[in-house]
Chain A
Amino acid sequence: GESVGLHLPTLSVQEGDNSIINCAYSNSASDYFIWYKQESGKGPQFIIDIRSNMDKRQGQRVTVLLNKTVKHLSLQIAATQPGDSAVYFCAEKAGGSYIPTFGRGTSLIVHP
């Protein structure tokens, strides 16, 4: 499998628990934020996004929270399942820029 999880921050949870993955972003001009999930051997997969005029957005079992004051983004996964085990990346993009900047990622391990 992939070795992309090496040296990454790791979050270990039990199946059924709620997971919270955090991300600090760097550019105060960023106004669009995206969370991606990357499973072993696969490319990053879009999960959820949020614009800077919002502080919370919900999807299916996932919620993204944005705190612009402290430049912090979090991804909450409800009732975490073994299939949620993956590396999660946050990305930020400033208005007018073409391509987002990615964080280093967090490895989520879900124990049955």
Chain B
Amino acid sequence: NAGVTQTPKFQVLKTGQSMTLQCAQDMNHEYMSWYRQDPGMGLRLIHYSVGAGITDQGEVPNGYNVSRSTTEDFPLRLLSAAPSQTSVYFCASRLRGDNQPQHFGDGTRLSIL
């Protein structure tokens, strides 16, 4: 199993551009989520999904959209990139159930100029 795969690993955008961060998992996990990580601030939840067709907002959803058309994929869309969205983005997945740990990808490092 590849686990959780995120692409691209690095990206530089100009303010106002849009892009999609890809996340795929091959563990048949029902739950998937997106976090951003900024220096000294830990992981903040952007959006999450508990199954195909179901998404919900996390702590910092503004400026981001998600969709979950398949169990495997959970893309994160930046609609109009802003410098405040410069961050490292992590995707995670886990099995359904109360006591299941999340598995993380290795992140996408995004810079907005």
Contact = CB atoms under 8 A, between A and B. Distances in A.
Contact of B45 (A31, A46, A51, A99): A99
B88 A2 contact: yes
Nearest to A43: B104
Interface stretch (B12-20, B63-71, B73-81, B94-102): B94-102
A69 B50 CA distance: 32
B102 A49 contact: no
B40 interface: yes
Interface in A47-76: 49, 51
A96 interface: yes
Contacts, number: 65
Contacts of B33: 99
Given A43-B104, A43-B106, A45-B104, A8 B99 contact: no
B42 A103 contact: yes
Interface of A: 2-4, 6-8, 31-32, 34, 36, 41-46, 49, 51, 89, 93, 95-96, 98-105
Interface of B: 4, 31, 33, 35, 37, 39-43, 45, 48, 50, 56, 58, 88, 90, 92, 98-99, 101-107
